Structure 1
């Protein structure tokens, strides 16, 4: 198996994504995670460009990494200046990283219009900067900025830029699709011509995703001879992002037979994707290939039935090889196979021809006609199934609830108060609580009534609340669906309620959330 080297630029290019701002500690944590994953190169930032990156490289000097090579990023010397007198080049040396990546212009249009210098001076800038840095660091990587656009406009000059970098001693020359406008066939043909021109050179690819082809472009470059692939975790980056390493890695290793990372690292890919998403505070799209929550989800009954017989029928790879899992969802498209699969996940074995199973499937479909939505509320679905088979005990009974909303002329916001009367065993509990809104007040009153009996409910927090109109044509009489997401710090779960009354829909979802927590605690022996 031929080796393809991974070059991660999440900490530099990825941090340029709109809405992303990594703290110093964030960058350290991500670097450590990438090292554990066996990332070959990790580009950590531009020393001297901002105080955070300067301090980061000082911190890195004291760290012990086991696999990844730390990379400092910068530019060629400025026009008409001696390389050793350029402060930003000196900052690259001071960073003391084993690898330095510099970018230089390879599109003649940029040389004359952006740099405002001559084509010959730009070649000198590339050669002299690479040659100078090679005296101080183990590896120098040259990023040929705008290479594909430059090649299309003036191929002789674009190749001359690469030749200057190679002559200066560059260990890798990387072809950059900086504007992200190239298509896979163009990347393949141009990369192939570069490889033919410089057969001994080590070539890399750095693709942006503006045409939604960054992953495909990276794979085509590898087919044409590139052996270093740049990208970011989850494809985060400026504008529409960079090439997504979470797709590139399994495609190279599982589909193209390349040696990329150890198998145990590949099984950590989904965890890595979610880790970076959490640190970046950028939600991971559910439908992201390989690592998304829906990447191996099956909704239609025919699909689920086939997957139960053989996963290869509707899955291009085994989810476990990338650390993900199969997910069979339940909806009005579902048949008995979906429900049987979900029941098995809950530890409930039932025959597909069982009358009880048929009743359960019909009940689910009837509820979905009423507006229930179980794909995003698996906790409510689990409760529905277990209640159907008599596997959920009665933790409390509702006697009554009341919600009051009042606003006086002197109030800035309305005041919400909820009163709840419950029976726990033989005891009656009557509590009241204020909240930011009626649902908040209900939630507080409900837990206030139950926490004396079930102390673990103090751990529960509502983290998301969504309301959707189910049948818009009914106007103010329309049914609403309330989806609630809760957490106890260890797990997260979703519950759903449907009613023509938004408070009642919220009450159904709230009580399901509480009962689910109590059921799980009981299964774990906590209560």
Structure 2
């Protein structure tokens, strides 16, 4: 950090606000793992991990995190949402071992009048009592102004009356949320600039929601207006349309706001994003900036050609910054450059005439909405060129799948590997799991290592209108690289076995 730069505190609220995503609930061990990664690898400044008084399970999760944080010097970075409820929330905090509370109070007259049915003076008095009680118990206090954005729009006098009261309290930070995600960027900058200029010595955080898809734009304007902290979530998780996403925000700040810095390690963002996706079941859209599956994939042939000649279609969002690599998709818009890049990664070289034939075949498949992956290329080459040069070294000769009531699914498998036949029986949690268990035994006998299965998706093939066929697409990780194989069949398990046979030949 240079002397001219100011530090922007990043508070990640995935474990509190992010867990309000519909259908998401983290276990205590999952919360602990995410908390550890956020503080030790992503290196955010603070994390908000829960709401007080929610449930016994939430209490146990907080206790696990605070125990770990206390042992490892992170306890002052752990924050919990609390309420204006006399001594109740603070007592909960003390019992849970947390040291920093984020007190939820009313930031608009609308909320104060209709939800609490109290005057500003009554609310301020109750808030001051909670803050004082927290201080007596060694709890540091930050204060949320819930519905602050509507407060600035419709009851600005109340907001400033409340701020005048708060700046005289023993409060560490004042947290200004756009609770309903209603702000446009010009308002965000105007409102925050007015507040920061009036109270230049106070630490203000901005908390954006994404209801109008403006959270990143609002975060950018908040930083330009002078706020000192931002509240973000992994993958933009949160209630309704979610919160401002951590990865996109960091990329924007690093590339477009040169007078600020953060402590976040960009290279860790993708891996923690995928872990949270797995724990939450909340799928990342393929086109989500920075962490989406397709955002570093060039599809158009002209783009791949430009990349080869002088990186003509690169921008500052280089995949290597985030621990990722650039890919070139295969489909109807593919050109020779796309296909050459993929063949080069497979170690295959073709003449110009043969490359032209293969390109045409891939375009035809794309026109039929068929998915083409890099692992399909050897089979396409063999088909188009009528060549035996691409041979299957691994062939699943036969299998018997069983599924019976009150008995574990099982499989008997016969497979040929490099001319040698093996037969094995295994059980599993499902038919495909039993198949993989039998396969693992065979490969262990040959002292060969199988890839790790990292994703498994089943769907009707693109363009399909019935369930007569299903397509299974499996993602594998092998020797530090990720690749996909797919199988097509009327039976889901058989389509997965076909995808697995392709994987065995790829490796």
- Normalized against structure 2, the TM-score is what? 0.82
Q: CA deviation at 1:39?
A: 0.9
Matches within 5 A, 1:206-225: 206-225=207-226
CA drift of 1:27 comes to 0.9
**Contact persistence 1:47–1:95 (CA under 8 A):** no
1:282 corresponds to? 282
2:7–2:262 CA contact under 8 A, matched in 1: no
Picking from 52, 56, 70, the partner of 1:51 is 56
TM-aligned CA deviation for residue 291 of structure 1:
1.3
- Matched residues in 2 for 1:245 and 1:148: separation? 21
Alignment partner of 1:90 is 2:91? yes
The match for 2:127 is: 126
Paired with 1:119 and 1:252, the residues of 2 have a C-alpha distance of 37
Q: Is the Cα–Cα contact under 8 Å of residues 296 and 315 in structure 1 kept in the other structure?
A: no
> Could you say if the C-alpha distance between residues 440 and 319 of structure 1 is closer, same or farther in structure 2, counting changes exceeding 3 Å?
closer
Gapped regions of structure 1 (runs ≥ 5): 405-410, 521-527
> 1:467 matched to which residue of 2?
460
Deviation at 1:485, TM superposition (A): 2.0
Q: Does 1:364 align with 2:331?
A: no
Tell me the alpha carbon deviations over residues 324-382 of structure 1, each in whole angstroms, 9 at most, x when there is no partner. Answer: 221211111010010111122223456xx7223222212322343455321xx432235
Alignment partners' CA distance in 1, 2:271 and 2:418: 43
SS in 2 for 1:295: coil
Instruction: Summarize the alignment of residues 310-325 of structure 1 with structure 2, pairs less than 5 Å apart.
Output: 310-311=310-311, 313-325=313-325
What pairs up with 1:471-490 in 2 under 5 angstroms?
482-485=471-474
Q: CA deviation at 1:278?
A: 1.2
Say which SS state the counterpart of residue 243 (structure 1) adopts. Answer: coil
Q: Which residue of 1 aligns with 2:329?
A: 329
Q: SS of the residue aligned with 1:102?
A: strand
Distance in 1 of aligned mates of 2:30 and 2:395 = 46
- 1:74 positional shift: 3.6
Q: Tell me the equivalent position of 1:379.
A: 375
Alignment check: 8 A CA contact 1:250 1:322 kept: no
Match of 1:294, SS state, is: coil
Partner of residue 28, structure 2: 24
Taking a change above 3 Å as real, the CA distance of residues 182 and 486 of structure 1, as seen in their structure-2 partners, is closer
Cα separation, partners in 2 of 1:258 and 1:447, compared to 1, 3 Å = same
SS in 1 for 2:238: coil
Spell out, residue by residue over 1:51-104, the C-alpha distance to the aligned partner (whole angstroms, 9 max, x if none): 2332334332344345684333244534xxxx5xx2223333444434221121
Q: Aligned partners of 2:172 and 2:140: how far apart in 1?
A: 6
CA contact (8 A) 2:84 2:103 kept: no
Bigger Cα displacement from structure 2, 97-106 vs 254-263? 254-263
The answer to whether the Cα contact below 8 Å between 1:303 and 1:314 also exists between their aligned partners in 2 is no
2:6 corresponding residue in structure 1: 2
Contact 1:249 / 1:260 at 8 angstroms: preserved in 2?
A: no
The question of whether the paired residues in 1 share the 8 Å contact of 2:236 and 2:246 is answered with yes
1:8 CA drift (Å) = 0.8
- Aligned CA-pair RMSD: 4.2
Distance 1:381 1:343 in 2: 8
CA drift at 1:112: 1.8
Q: Which residue is equivalent to 1:291?
A: 291
Question: 2:12–2:48: 8 Å Cα contact kept in structure 1?
Answer: yes
Please say which of residues 19-28 and 157-166 is displaced more in the overlay. Answer: 157-166
Q: Which residue of 1 aligns with 2:84?
A: 77
Shift in Å, 1:266: 1.0
Matched, 1:516 2:503: yes
Q: Which runs of 5+ in 2 are unaligned?
A: none
Contact 2:395/2:416, CA 8 A, preserved across alignment:
yes
- The answer for the alignment partner of 1:341 in structure 2 is 341
- Corresponding position of 1:495: 485
Report deviation, 1:428: 8.5
C-alpha displacement of 1:267: 1.0
Q: Which has the larger radius of gyration?
A: 1
Pairwise CA distance, 1:442: 13
- Aligned partner of 1:524 in structure 2 is none
Three-state SS of the structure 2 residue aligned to 1:484 is strand
Higher mean C-alpha deviation, range 386-395 or range 422-431: 422-431
Distance 1:38 1:166, change over 3 A: same
CA contact (8 A) 1:22 1:280 kept: yes
Q: Is residue 192 of structure 1 aligned with residue 193 of structure 2? A: yes
Deviation at 1:192, TM superposition (A): 1.0
Task: For residue 313 of structure 1, give the secondary structure of its aligned residue in structure 2.
Answer: coil
- Alignment deviations for residues 473-512 of structure 1 (CA, whole Å, 9 cap, x no partner): xx99x9x6734326589887533457xx847x99787445
* Residues in 2 aligned to 1:228 and 1:55: alpha-carbon distance in whole angstroms: 28
Cα shift at 1:322? 2.1
Tell me the secondary structure at the aligned position of residue 104 of structure 2: strand
Counterparts in 2 of 1:489 and 1:402: CA distance versus 1, 3 Å? closer
1:149 CA displacement: 0.4
In 2: Cα distance, 1:433 partner to 1:50 partner:
42
Asked whether the 8 Å contact 1:32–1:65 carries over to 2, the reply is no
* Aligned equivalents of 2:67, 2:426: Cα separation in 1: 54
- Superposed displacement of residue 294, structure 1: 0.9
User: In the alignment, which residue of structure 2 is the partner of 1:523?
Assistant: none
